[in-house]
Structure 1
Amino acid sequence: MKRLDLSGRATVGSVAVPFEELATQPTARGVVLTPDVAFESLAPYLPQLDLVVVTFPIFRDGRGFTQARALREYGGFTGEIRATGHLLPDQANHLRRVGIDSVELPDDADPSPWERERHRFHTAYQFSVGGESGPLSGLRRALT
């Protein structure tokens, strides 16, 4: 697998273990989340982690977006969030805006559609946990 950087942040080389094994491996620095793992279950482990791999079993399953946003917004996670599984290049901007730093692509995948999509839109109206702000972000913050 090759890794496509979405955020411009350095990626870590930590080995990720399945969430089910995290409690038995206290030295683990990375974890693989399946869509059924709730943020509350992972929260106690966040201080020890450098890497969270969010899996997308099918491209229609958006729970990975929710997991990534919860990690950044509610958990204050500052490590790398990596997406893996069935993803489409047109999801690149949204992946970045919910806090995902990188995407695992098959070795034979062409990264150019991902790069093209990453730079396609320059304005977003939604709030981003990735640090970017759209024209209405200040208004949203003022109302909340």
Structure 2
Amino acid sequence: MPVIIKNQTVISDTYTFYATYTEGDVLAKHSIIPVDDFLANPSLLEQHPGTIGVWLDSHHEPEALSPYLHQLAVIAVNFPSFTDGRGYSIARIIRERLGYQGELRAIGEVLHDQLFYLKRCGFDAFKLQAEKDPEEALRGFNDFSVSYQAATDHPSHYFATVYTKRLLP
């Protein structure tokens, strides 16, 4: 059975990923479909007896999902190559601006050395390439002990915390 890393633990992936969806296709109980196909048929949220998630490519605008965020079980962001960083920005928009609280999953070219940074942007689940060892990838979350910039996981930056501690008795 395929696995994902979720909340820094390796678990079974209960979702079926669809590269395309056409109205009338029979979906698995837990399904992730392309965002364009979902937006063409958002009534799936009421019609499907299981849970529906969507996946976005790096060129999609996450704001299009605003009316449906509270109903989507998972939002996956595809990284078509490890050099395409637009998914990091999409994650921050989804978490910080749109306030999404559900599972935010990184898919595609997700590498061990990106996990720490992806988590900082709001991802809590990661689908690695089949040839990658998820247990080994878990070490990527501990690559750094301090982060200087503010992010989804730590809203204030490092220096604000250090200076505040020095100024307070």
1:134 and 1:12 mapped to 2: Cα distance? 36
Question: Normalising by structure 2, what TM-score?
Answer: 0.71
Equivalent pair of 2:56/2:77 in contact (CA under 8 Å): yes
Percent identity reads 32
Equivalent in the alignment of 1:142:
none
76-85 or 104-113, which deviates more = 104-113
Query: Unaligned stretches of 5+ in structure 1?
Result: 140-144
User: Residues 120-135 of structure 1 correspond to what in structure 2 (within 5 A)?
Assistant: 120-131=143-154, 134-135=157-158
Task: Report 1 or 2 for greater relative contact order, CA contacts < 8 Å, sequence distance ≥ 6.
Answer: 1
Equivalent in the alignment of 1:36:
59
Equivalent residue letter for 1:5: K
Query: Unaligned stretches of 5+ in structure 2?
Result: 16-29, 46-51, 163-169
User: Residues 33-72 of structure 1 correspond to what in structure 2 (within 5 A)?
Assistant: 33-72=56-95
Equivalent in the alignment of 2:37:
21
Larger Rg: 2
Equivalent pair of 1:124/1:133 in contact (CA under 8 Å): no
Q: How many residues align?
A: 138
CA 1:88 to 1:121, structure 2 compared with 1: closer, same or farther past 3 Å?
A: same
User: Residues 49-128 of structure 1 correspond to what in structure 2 (within 5 A)?
Assistant: 49-128=72-151
Equivalent pair of 1:6/1:103 in contact (CA under 8 Å): no
2:63 and 2:155 mapped to 1: Cα distance? 26
Equivalent pair of 1:31/1:49 in contact (CA under 8 Å): yes
Q: Deviations over 1:102-139 (max 9, x none)?
A: 11123442124422221121110111212475523559
Equivalent residue letter for 1:85: G
Equivalent in the alignment of 1:2:
3
Equivalent pair of 1:16/1:30 in contact (CA under 8 Å): yes
Aligned-pair CA distance for 1:18: 0.7
Question: Normalising by structure 1, what TM-score?
Answer: 0.82
113-122 or 69-78, which deviates more = 113-122
Aligned-pair CA distance for 1:7: 5.0
Equivalent in the alignment of 2:49:
none
2:8 and 2:100 mapped to 1: Cα distance? 15
Q: Residue 92 of structure 2 aligns to a residue in which SS?
A: helix
